[in-house]
Amino acid sequence: MKVIGLTGNIGCGKSTVAGMLRDAGVATIDADAVAREIRHNDADARAAILERFGTYEAAELAMVVFSDAGALRDLELILHPRVRGAVRARLAELDEGKVELAAVEVIKLIESPLADACDQIWVVRCEEADAIRRLAESRGMDEETARRRLRSQSSQDEKVAAADVIIDGSASLDETRRQVERALATLRSA
């Protein structure tokens, strides 16, 4: 099985590209969804979050961790090892099921040991103004909140430097789909 590591900053279109991959028959794993499952279903994780933050309600956690780098680091120390383990287990299940191609959508992929599980790193990048506009439209964020979220992530330049494939998330949906189709065709023929 070949594994695509799909990353990019918030608001750049990772989820849109993941949807296009699913439409093309690629099995996808969303690390954010895995993290939500763990926050809700893993008693040890819930207890650790509750002990550190006093809550594990998503909106309250987001307000705290995206305004305090130390708090974000603490939450990542609680969740990321569990998420990595769950993602690796799901990849193993897909591989046993003879899946040809899988994609893992991970916002902090480059910084994670999960990058080693990927055959290719795909980065969805976009103009900052597009990301801010999308975050306002899709998540109701004001401009300062959106900028704070973007600042909490590694730069697009770092991600692009590690990329095997770069998808322009500021392009039209049709052009983005063509970029995905070309990259998939190249990967499948390799």
Return the number of other C-beta atoms located less than 10 Å from residue 63's C-beta: 14
pLDDT, tens digit, for every residue of 103-138?
Answer: 999 999 999 999 999 999 999 999 999 999 999 888
Pair type for strands 27-30 and 2-7: unpaired
Specify whether the CB–CB gap between 133 and 23 falls below 8 A. Answer: no
Cβ atoms of 92 and 144 closer than 8 Å: no
Q: Is residue 45 exposed (0-12), middle (13-18) or buried (19+ Cβ within 10 Å)?
A: buried
Query: 2-189 maps to which CATH number?
Result: 3.40.50.300
Q: Is residue 149 scored above 90 in pLDDT?
A: no
pLDDT given for residue 63 in this prediction = 84
Q: What percent of the chain has pLDDT over 70?
A: 100
Residue 74: the pLDDT is 96
Residue 168, helix vs strand vs coil: strand
